[in-house]
């Protein structure tokens, strides 16, 4: 199976950029790659029904009701969203997404047949203290504690070290490979599922080469570089030629 390339466009695009961006990406939707684009909520209709797959950057913890500014999983489903990023660092840090909130958001995704892309990762302090695996273990056991095992077969994990997101810093390819092994083994021993694990954090066309050689990495979650069309085309070509 091909590698996944997930573009988290964050809050980086204006409508005037979108038409060209989509046209270009659609020209590259072939080969050994599965492209999923996650635009801002308001831009989702522009990205729907295209050659690539459609994801969202967030979902409400609530199902329905008086929640001003929120968007539910059933509303996302209605406009063609098939994937949803959950537990992103920027939502944990800026909007207080806790383990319980992340757990409920995943449940909402499952109930509307949306595949959650769940971000987990250690912060700088954990890394320095050597407690990365302990932290990841805790997250995996807490976030997924009471989820339906069958639903969990439709799940993507993004290993995004918090210190690597938007910082220009990355773990070595050996570290990424070792951590992905750890995550996959833990999912298997705790939940008996084989989960796809992506890497995310400061990926660009210059450093992608190193991570491409990480065999157990099922793909990439790209932030800032993904809204730059030249970068995206380079990244797509590199994955396709790897």
Asked if residue 165 binds ligand 13P (CB under 6 A), the reply is: yes
Asked if residue 54 lies in contact with residue 80, where contact means CB atoms within 8 angstroms, the answer is: yes
- What burial letters (b/e) apply to 214-228, b meaning 16+ CB within 10 Å? beebbbbbbbbbbbb
Element containing residue 5 per DSSP (H, E): strand 3-8
Cα–Cα distance measured from residue 193 to residue 51, given in angstroms and rounded to the nearest whole number: 29
Kindly state the tokens that stand for 96.
């207080």
- The question of whether 160 is a catalytic residue gets the answer yes
Q: Does 40 bind ligand 13P (CB under 6 A)?
A: no
Residues 164/211, Cβ–Cβ less than 8 Å: no
- The answer to whether 203 contacts ligand 13P (rule: CB under 6 A) is yes
- Among the listed residues 116, 223, 231, 235, the single contact to ligand 13P using CB under 6 A: 223
Q: Is 88 a catalytic residue?
A: yes
How far lies 141's CA from each of 5, 15, 97, 186, 188, in Å? Answer: 26, 40, 17, 9, 12
Asked if residue 179 binds ligand 13P (CB under 6 A), the reply is no
Which residue in 58, 177, 202, 205 binds ligand 13P (CB under 6 A)? Answer: 202
Number of residues that bind ligand 13P (CB under 6 A): 14
Residues 6+ apart with CB under 8 A from 126: 132, 134, 135
Per CB under 6 A, contacts with ligand 13P among 85-124 are 88
CB of 45 to ligand 13P, least distance (A): 22
Piece of the chain touching ligand 13P by CB under 6 A; list 42-50, 69-77, 160-168, 187-195 = 160-168
Please, is 35 exposed, middle or buried when counting C-beta atoms within 10 Å of its C-beta (0-12, 13-18, 19+)? buried
Q: Tell me: does residue 222 bind ligand 13P (CB under 6 A).
A: yes
Single out the catalytic residue among 88, 90, 122, 231: 88
Q: State which of residues 55, 87, 121, 201 lies at the interface with ligand 13P (CB under 6 A).
A: 201
What character string, x for contact with ligand 13P (CB under 6 A) and - otherwise, covers 51-90? -------------------------------------x--
Give the active site residues.
88, 160
Interface positions with ligand 13P (CB under 6 A): 8, 88, 160, 165-166, 200-203, 221-225
């Amino acid at each position: 199976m091909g590698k996944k390339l997930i573009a988290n466009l964050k809050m980086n695009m204006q409508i005037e950029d979108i038409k060209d961006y989509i046209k270009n990406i659609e020209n590259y939707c072939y080969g050994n790659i599965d492209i999923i684009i996650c635009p801002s909520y308001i831009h989702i209709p522009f990205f729907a029904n295209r050659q690539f797959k459609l994801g969202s950057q967030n979902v409400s913890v609530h199902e329905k009701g008086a929640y001003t500014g929120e968007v539910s999983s059933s509303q996302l489903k209605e406009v063609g969203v098939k994937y949803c990023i959950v537990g992103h660092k920027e939502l944990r840090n800026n909007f207080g997404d806790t383990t319980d909130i992340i757990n409920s958001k995943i449940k909402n995704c499952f109930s509307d047949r949306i595949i959650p892309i769940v971000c987990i990762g250690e912060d700088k302090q954990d890394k320095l203290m050597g407690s990365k695996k302990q932290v990841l273990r805790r997250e995996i056991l807490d976030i997924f504690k009471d989820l339906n095992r069958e639903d969990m077969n439709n799940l993507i994990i993004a290993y995004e070290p918090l210190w690597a997101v938007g910082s220009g810093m990355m773990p070595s390819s050996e570290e990424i490979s070792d951590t992905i092994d750890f995550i996959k083994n833990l999912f298997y021993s705790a939940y008996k599922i084989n989960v796809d694990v992506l890497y995310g954090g400061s990926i660009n066309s210059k450093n992608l080469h190193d991570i491409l050689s990480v065999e157990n990495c099922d793909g990439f979650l790209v932030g800032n570089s993904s809204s730059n069309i030249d970068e995206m085309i380079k990244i797509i070509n590199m994955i396709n030629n790897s």
